Amino acid sequence: MTTRPSTRPSRDPAEAGGPSPETPWRRLSGPVVALVLAAGLVVVTSSVVRGGAAFRLDDLVLASTPGRGNGPAVPDLLALGVVELATPALSVAVVSALTMALCLRTGRWAPLVLAAPALVLMSSAVLLGKGLISRTAPDVPGMLGGDGSYPSGHTATALVCAGVAAELVARLHPPRRTPARAAAALWTLLVAVSLLWLHFHWLSDVVGSILLGSLVLWLLLRWPWHLGAAVATQCLHEGRSRAR
């Protein structure tokens, strides 16, 4: 007697783009990772405010990079291009347009519920940090230094916007999860390196922004909220309703 293979769709949440099954480690890792990111952000910010070890590392990186107009022409132009593309206003506009397009395509508001809190929280935290911490940017010829160098708005915006886009792709197209997250990490790294290469920011500005952006994404997407799961759930229901 032979048995027919089951044709029922998989109920594995991970395959459907939904949240993975809870395990003791996953329940513990949520608050632990959030605490580590928050502690790192506090340490870096405190060092910047007090002029501690962060300043010594900043000077070391500044001396090891050429700065705008002082290095090879091709890397200089590439770095300038990356920084221009990573302008916070442009990054937010692109992710907002992508989010609204997905909302219209799916007929659901879940993508907006994912993106809006991340963008608002990130922007508010960066503006608050720049307003409270008076820090002068590196002296670059042809650039206005001024205060408000910490944290780096370019870096934080690049990380959060790329992270939101990667989460949307991962939830709507689970097989593309790894490439999407890798692309988000690579873009953030390119922005950070470009800012340091051109002397547009100190190392601690960039590191603090990476910790800030990572904390925002972790709190909203992994613990305690799972805003990305709503995208997968709504789209899964939409696909089932259309199949009927």
Asked if residue 22 is part of any domain, the answer here is no
Kindly tell me if the per-residue pLDDT of 85 is higher than 50: yes
How many domains is the chain built from?
Answer: 1
Asked if residue 16 is part of any domain, the answer here is no
- Per-residue confidence (pLDDT) for residue 143, from 0 to 100: 54
User: Is the CB of residue 174 less than 8 Å from the CB of residue 16?
Assistant: yes
Asked if residue 7 is part of any domain, the answer here is no
Query: Helical H runs in 86-176?
Result: 88-106, 110-132, 153-172
**Segments forming the whole domain that contains residue 46:** 28-243
- Per-residue confidence (pLDDT) for residue 52, from 0 to 100: 84
In single-letter form, the type of residue at position 237 comes to: H
Take residue 211 and report the two structure tokens written for it: 């910790």
Kindly tell me if the per-residue pLDDT of 137 is higher than 50: yes
Q: How far is CA 158 from CA 41, 123, 176, in A?
A: 17, 11, 20
Predicted confidence band of residue 243 (pLDDT cuts 50, 70, 90): very low
Q: What span, in angstroms and rounded, lies between the C-alpha atoms of 33 and 29? A: 6
Asked if residue 19 is part of any domain, the answer here is no
Asked if residue 9 is part of any domain, the answer here is no
- Per-residue confidence (pLDDT) for residue 14, from 0 to 100: 43
Burial (CB count <10 Å: 0-12, 13-18, 19+), residue 188: buried
Q: At what angle do helices 227-243 and 203-221 cross, to 10 degrees?
A: 50
Q: What is the length of the chain? A: 244
Tens digit of each residue's pLDDT (9 = 90 or more) over 195-242: 999 999 999 999 999 999 999 999 999 999 999 887 877 665 554 445
Average pLDDT on 166-171 reads 94
Asked if residue 37 is part of any domain, the answer here is yes
Asked if residue 220 is part of any domain, the answer here is yes
The pTM of the full predicted model, rounded to 2 decimals, is 0.86
In single-letter form, the type of residue at position 208 comes to: G
Q: What span, in angstroms and rounded, lies between the C-alpha atoms of 185 and 187? A: 6
Q: What span, in angstroms and rounded, lies between the C-alpha atoms of 169 and 228? A: 10
Asked if residue 206 is part of any domain, the answer here is yes
Q: Count of alpha carbons within 13 Å of 62, Cβ hemisphere only? A: 17
- Per-residue confidence (pLDDT) for residue 1, from 0 to 100: 46
Indicate the range of 49-58, 69-78, 136-145, 154-163 predicted with least confidence: 136-145
Output Rg (C-alpha) for the chain, integer angstroms.
21
